Amino acid sequence: MDKADKIIVLVEDDPIITAALTERLSEAGYSITAFATADQALQDLDKLAPQLIITDVRLPGTDGIDFLKQLKQRDQSISVIVMTGYATVSDAVAAMKLGAADYLPKPVSAEELLVKIERLFELLQLRADRDRLQQDAERRFALGNVIGRSRKMREIFEAVNLVKDLSTTVLIKGPTGSGKELLARAIHFQSVRRALPFVPVSCVALSPQLLESELFGHERGAFTGAYRRKIGRFEAAADGTLFLDDVDDIPLELQTKLLRVLQERKMLRVGGESEIDVHCRIICACKADLQQLVDAGRFRADLFFRMNVIRIELPPLAQRKEDIPLLTDHFVAHYAARQKKAPPKLDPEALHYLIEYDWPGNVRQLENVIEASVAFCSAGRLTVAHLPPEITHRPPAKGLFSLNLPARGTVDISGLTDAVQAELIRWALRLADGSQSKAAKLLNLPRTTLQSKMRKLGLAD
């Protein structure tokens, strides 16, 4: 914001001081309006909408302290600098208790006042930037940005809405690239903790010693290279959320210390002697089956039970292919906007390849493929030619299906027919993005017939 856009109101009954300060602040580039009384200023505040008010304490009519009270009743966020000709501690203390941003004794130094104003506007800008980033984060990590319409994803959304405001530990299980951190952030930013820190830690990226220091912090001299005290992630999370990713890779020697934190809600820095209370909500994520690791002796059973209070399982993308059209549309629009181009139209054949691919890298792999495809797409239509070879190296079968009859002694023709019909209906629903009307057209069926077959085959919600 330019200085000329920063509006300051000065309330001072001494015309000499008013003239001097108005001239100096105007020379500095600020837009300033002066009033001789607080009552006059109050009448015009809504019209002026100042970012800062500078007021004397001793004023005719409403004095500066009562003026400050009225200002804060109107708007707690308004910034006020109080000037006092008596330089009494009581005036300054009263003003600061009521929410004044700063105070200045008279006779006022214009240069000192300018320094205070500049610092105050810098602080206001930092707060505005923080609030904007917070709002951006809340929008970016809203639950609606976790894309999915499949039954499993709808169940996950319902679970998140039920647990988001609890302090209970959550364990998110899912393969690499399935969106575990995105879901954890959605839980945090949908919760009452949304304005508090969200602190992620990857438990696979660090050695045991570094991970311990990263989680719990350390005191100066705790080990070679510890030249100063370090605050760990548990402390940094404060009353917010700590996200522990890849907990299945935490070494056994560190699992005991982590168990104590989850049980006692207390911790010690490495090399420390004083216990520190832990107040953050903890969300864990794993890619492996922790129960299998417990059975193999690679994960503590008591730690698993502490983590596994509320469990949410994210399926691999191959198990929720009906979400692929929705995810694809989202990524196409997102990366087209980032690349400053109109979103290309997705060719049905290209979508068919995307749906049929098994996606070992899950949603992250799909996102990367779409980002690259949009970058190479210049004709307004995203076709098979824009997809990477690993997606398209196997051409679709020329027929609708194939049979391996020599390997069978008998065939249940009724059950086989039902299986083929079910697969065809799933195919049509995927291409139709879940719309039964569109799917019926793809199958050349009346919608009522399609619904009847879906009920018979157990495909109806």
The residues of the chain that CATH labels 3.40.50.300 are: 144-315
| Architecture of the domain whose range is 318-392 | Orthogonal Bundle (1.10)
Q: Provide the CB-side half-sphere exposure for 352 (13 A, CA).
A: 11
The residues of the chain that CATH labels 1.10.8.60 are: 318-392
Q: What is the pLDDT of residue 403?
A: 64
Q: Which residue has tokens 């692929």?
A: 324
Beta bridge pairs of residue 382:
346
According to DSSP, the β-strands at 276-277 and 266-267 are antiparallel
Distance of CA 92 to the CA centre of its chain: 41
Contact 166, 129 (CB under 8 A): no
**Of the options 3.40.50.720, 3.40.50.2300, 3.60.20.10, 3.90.1150.10, the CATH number for the domain spanning 3-135:** 3.40.50.2300
Contact 165, 191 (CB under 8 A): yes
Distances (CA, A) of 162 to 52, 76, 150, 260: 43, 34, 19, 27
Q: What is the pLDDT of residue 133?
A: 62
The residues of the chain that CATH labels 3.40.50.2300 are: 3-135
Question: Maximum Cα–Cα distance for the chain, whole Å?
Answer: 108
Alpha-carbon distance 281 to 240, whole Å?
6
- Parts of the chain with a pLDDT under 70: 1-5, 86-89, 129-145, 394-409, 461
Q: What is the pLDDT of residue 175?
A: 94
Q: What is the pLDDT of residue 308?
A: 94
| Architecture of the domain whose range is 144-315 | 3-Layer(aba) Sandwich (3.40)
Examine residue 360 and say whether the peptide bond preceding it is cis (omega within 30 degrees of 0).
no
CATH class held by domain 411-456: mainly alpha
The size of the chain, in residues, is 461
List, in sequence order, the alpha helices (H) in 141-285. Answer: 151-163, 180-189, 208-216, 233-237, 252-264
